[in-house]
Structure 1
Amino acid sequence: MEQIIQLHDKQFKPFIDSSKIQDAILALAQKINTTYEGKNPVFIGVLNGSFLFTADLVRHFNGDCEVSFMKMASYEGTSTTGIVNELIGLNLDIKDREVIILEDIVDTGNTLEKLFHELKKKQPKSLAIATLLFKPKAYQKDIPVDYVAMEVGNEFLVGYGLDYDGLGRNLKDIYIIC
């Protein structure tokens, strides 16, 4: 892993290396493979942050599946605004389909709650949530997070899809603010 990095006005230090991330995704994919064996689920990645997680997880899925994306936004800098905006909607019919929402990180749950209720209106057969990172101490909602690759504290993280004002998504490891 690299040493301390600078993104805009903040410094970040190594937190989770890429091999641990990949091991956690593989373990998560194995659970999803067991549950969805013989089914044709739709994976819905939440942009921008989940693009790497979505790609890596779907590569480990053993059956037929479809992939789509939605873009939601609720962050400015290092904190949530509390307001969730849908920037790009779903362009796929999910009625009577098995649907798995793929999140890079679940913290307060505001984005997840809005997305979950929007997708429920489209009448999927089932709707599950999978996340790379889960912040249980920050989570404020009652919607169950079905698949969690790793639990983390309430610190601000960047890398592997996570950003700080647009920077850091391309880092292969995850960094924590200094």
Structure 2
Amino acid sequence: MKPLLATFAALALTACVAGPVGNPNPPQPAKAVDLDRYVGRWYEVARYDMRFEKGCEGVTAEYSQRPDGLIRVVNTCRQGAVDGPVKVSEGKAKVADASTNAKLKVSFFGPFFGDYWVLDHADDYSWSIVGEGSGRYLWLLSRQVPTQADRAALTARARALGYDVSLLRPTKQPAP
């Protein structure tokens, strides 16, 4: 009975934090991911705003290989402004599709994992577009503090993938 209760709790939590569907037909990942090249620091360019990221600016994600084969995930945000108080969330990710490494499962608390799909990325891993199967989550990421040209190019790519880019919230980043 307890596992069933935990499942219902997880579904209820997902319903509470999920936003509007920005793509009713989210695409499958476009290409395989080399995890050795994907690890490292990413700067958030824009996102579909979610309750767990409300007020976050200067957002970065740092991925690194763990000795147990999982991936360490460290998300950092500045609350309210690019120089605001730092908020750090540490989690873990595991590969969900070993044939491409483009679908992962990420957890920041307990046994609950959410989908993390690398929908597309540059061949040189300079940018990445991340979402999942419901179309409610979307992140545009860059290896460097994004320029206006970077933002425009990634937004255009997200639009081409079928996402409602009017729902994107640009993330302020400190000047390089």
Give the TM-score taking structure 2 as reference length: 0.27
